[in-house]
Structure 1
Amino acid sequence: MTSVATSIKLITREEAELKRNNAGSFAPQTCSTDLNLGPWEFDALADKLGMPTYGPGASMADVAPKETPRQGQLPQEYKDATDEELDQRILKAKEVLGDSVVVLGHFYQRDEVVKYADFVGDSFQLANAALTKPDAKAIVFCGVHFMAETADILSTPEQAVILPNLAAGCSMADMADIDSVEAAWAELEKVFGTEPDADGKVPVIPVTYMNSSAALKGFCGEHGGIVCTSSNAETVLTWAFERAQRVLFFPDQHLGRNTAKAMGVPLEQMPMWNPRKPLGGNTEGELQDSRVILWHGFCSVHKRFNVSQIEKARAEFPGVRVIVHPECPMEVVDAADEYGSTDYIRKAIAAATEPTTFAIGTEINLVNRLANEFPQHTIFCLDPVICPCSTMYRIHPGYLAWVLEGLVESEVRNQISVDPHVSATAKIALERMLAAKP
């Protein structure tokens, strides 16, 4: 099976040929033919417009905050280089740098980048992987901004954490910013007060998903809260309920809802908090009756999945095993056979002893890679449209070559540095997460 990037190029060429011949449309489609362009095209557009853009892909309709980091222009030589030339440059730079650099690749990265990674995994696994290389002078994180921030928090002061393209943010993480969360917290304190009840439980405790900024992790550290991953969300909520009457969960409403529902929390006790409305759009009574207050955020990749896709998969492949990510909407999780983190999905497929048909609800690059890795199974993405994570797709071999060759020249490019005060409080919340083992 070809890589996602190669498939997009082939589809784009086919579409262009069909348009020239007036032959109609071509299937399967990509969500945007602009995916075939180099990410630097969108970096240039952001500079021209004076505002950031997530670029083509699942998050292209999401509005990026004005303060979202922007990437300067990539030198022309990297834009013009062929795939083969970039391959040679990256491999040569890695050979020269040796153990002084470690390259981390997220599951959702394109194959053309992942193949250079020393470690591949989810954001938490990769942050931990970096800890196994304390002598590395640089950590090149092929992921998105919040992941690089987490790596900087957990790494040693002597290590430089590098994000190949600063525009690789996360639309979900951007849906909860520190000012909005602090404003919400102030409103909640007015409703609940701050005094613990007779059991010693505080009125509310903050829980942030790993997919959030360092500032929000720091907020949780300062207010007795904790960070969770998609793997340990239930363990973390159990931890929080032992200490508080209710939880403010951000930024992903779906992970919070799916996890709390599985724990027996009724939907009516999970009001949504819309930061643009007074009291988040709720009454004081609704907040008083709540157990989990869900932030109005979501992942644009996992929002694409729906029940109709599952029904279609079951009709076409009787006996299909449907596994989705907990960032999917509740009705999708309910209709699936199983749900779990990216690591759960991978382990479930690896553990299948008989040839099995799997329909997977998560990012296309991972699904495509799993299909290549386990050819004894039939593995396909529930979403028939090739639509990768917009921000993960901003990492390109050209940027990787640029930062690695910078290190060869003793120049650190695109370093991610978290403010020391934020880092200290965020580390408290992260250490609480580390102790909350599923």
Structure 2
Amino acid sequence: MTATIPVPGGSVATRIALLSGPEEALNQAQASTATCAPGLASGPWDFDAAPGYGPGASLTDAAPAGIPRQAELPEEYRRTSDAELEERITRAKEFLGDRVVILGHFYQRDEVVRHADFVGDSFQLARAAKSRPDAEAIVFCGVHFMAETADLLSGPDQAVVLPNLAAGCSMADMADADSVAECWEQLSALYGEAPDALGRQPVIPVTYMNSSAALKAFCGENGGIVCTSSNAAAVLEWAFERGQRVLFFPDQHLGRNTAKAMGIPLAAMPMWNPRLPLGGNTPQTLQDAKVLLWNGFCSVHKRFTVAQIEQARAEHPGVRVIVHPECPMPVVDAADESGSTDYIQKAIAAAPAGSTFAVGTEINMVNRLAAQYPQHTIFCLDPVICPCSTMYRIHPGYLAWVLEGLAAGQVHNRITVPAATASAARTALERMLAVRP
């Protein structure tokens, strides 16, 4: 069930290459059912100058104008073999020593993660960056909002580098600063600004870590806070102590699943569509709301379905189904449990040998867990190989380029949050750090 057709083992990139290559005895129609986008077999530099997120789970997501584009990678890195890139990365890393720290997200491809000094989720990696104050450069193998967060939490003399500027996040882009500010104006006009008898504000903004520094700053300036997938419930409790309602963005599914588990009825969780007046709601609906959910989502986790869970249970009696809380509510309800990437990894590590897991999260992480824990049977709920489009844009060629640049005294792709934005964004992050799940 790890693929719709038999595929040899190995990394996700290797499997995609085999499915797309002439050595695989498959016709094009069969190969197209094995991956969500045939272009995944190409180098990401083929898409850097084009608008959009590139092949993968976010291929059909609408990309806003002005998202970062990556300049063309020098030809020597585009034409170098995988083996030589491996050698060049290793050599540059050894030369730089403690002057550089490489962070790799759980969803990164194996060919990049193997060079990371720390592997984790976005917030774990930001804290890891903070733990290395003597490093001159932090190379963040993740996506843009993660590099911004690392810049917020690292020292002023440390350079945070994103190997490919085109590695954004379609979910993070679904809530922009202008749209959130317009929403806030409409809510302020409806609710007023006076606290209730308990001193609670009409509404508290809560942004998921998967958002821009500008939105973190918005929360910092308006009494709000940041959350992660592992502490969302604790953060919502914090917000309800201070506010009558919560505006939660950008991921509707994390907000809905978390609030539902806390006992908040679905009728009190209207969706806010930023393209419509009052988000497409009536004034009374908004007055009765407890959690206003932004119309955003993760295209990776949106792929998982109840039918996939039913198939997993039919084919693997006794299977333990774990999904990420960014999955739609019916999927979370049908699973045995849900949790952050760190939760999923720890659950598998602690399970007795011989356990079977169907996991609803990004394929690179699931594939890596299957290799790391051969005593278990571990497979991805989604039978189609479809990695995160933007994570997949970090290729060993880009990692070699930025590391060799640092070795030569050049800083490519530095991510810097403006000082005014950084101050307010840190306020929201510090509030989150003070919350204990």
Give the shorter-chain TM-score range.
over 0.9
1:48-77 deviation line (CA, Å, top 9, x unaligned) = xxxx21000000000111110000000000
Q: How does 1:128-167 map to 2 (within 5 A)?
A: 128-167=127-166
Q: Which runs of 5 or more structure 1 residues have no equivalent in the other structure?
A: 47-51
Q: Secondary structure at the match of 1:319?
A: coil
1:370 and 1:17 map into 2 onto residues whose CA distance is 28
Q: How does 1:11-410 map to 2 (within 5 A)?
A: 11-13=19-21, 18-19=26-27, 25-26=30-31, 29-44=34-49, 46=50, 52-410=51-409
Q: Where does residue 2 of structure 1 map in the other structure?
A: 10
Q: Where does residue 6 of structure 2 map in the other structure?
A: none
Q: Secondary structure at the match of 2:13?
A: helix
1:79 and 1:352 map into 2 onto residues whose CA distance is 42
Q: Secondary structure at the match of 2:138?
A: strand
Q: Secondary structure at the match of 2:248?
A: strand
Distance change (3 Å), C-alpha of 1:278 and 1:104: same
**Does the CA-based 8 Å contact 1:360-1:380 persist in structure 2?**
yes
Shift of 1:28: 6.0
| % identity of equivalent residues | 71
Query: What is the aligned-residue RMSD (CA, Å)?
Result: 1.1
Letter in 2 for 1:32: A
1:226 and 1:148 map into 2 onto residues whose CA distance is 19
1:311-359 deviation line (CA, Å, top 9, x unaligned) = 0000000110000000000000000000000000000000002310100
1:244 and 1:259 map into 2 onto residues whose CA distance is 17
TM-score, reference length from structure 1: 0.97
Q: Secondary structure at the match of 2:94?
A: helix
Shift of 1:16: 7.4
How many residue pairs were aligned?
429
2:353 and 2:157 map into 1 onto residues whose CA distance is 48
Q: Secondary structure at the match of 2:200?
A: coil
Letter in 2 for 1:280: G
- Of 141-150 and 58-67, more deviation after overlay is shown by 58-67
**Does the CA-based 8 Å contact 1:249-1:292 persist in structure 2?**
yes
1:437 and 1:36 map into 2 onto residues whose CA distance is 43
Shift of 1:15: 8.9
1:387-418 deviation line (CA, Å, top 9, x unaligned) = 00000000000000000000011110000000
2:368 and 2:106 map into 1 onto residues whose CA distance is 9
TM-score, reference length from structure 2: 0.97
Distance change (3 Å), C-alpha of 1:373 and 1:290: same
**Does the CA-based 8 Å contact 1:236-1:433 persist in structure 2?**
yes
**Does the CA-based 8 Å contact 1:15-1:25 persist in structure 2?**
no
Q: 4+ runs of 1 displaced by more than 2 Å?
A: 14-20, 24-28
**Does the CA-based 8 Å contact 1:14-1:26 persist in structure 2?**
no
Shift of 1:25: 2.3
**Does the CA-based 8 Å contact 1:55-1:390 persist in structure 2?**
yes
**Does the CA-based 8 Å contact 1:164-1:399 persist in structure 2?**
yes
Q: Where does residue 49 of structure 1 map in the other structure?
A: none
Q: Secondary structure at the match of 1:25?
A: helix
Distance change (3 Å), C-alpha of 1:336 and 1:14: farther
**Does the CA-based 8 Å contact 1:251-1:295 persist in structure 2?**
yes
Q: Secondary structure at the match of 2:193?
A: coil
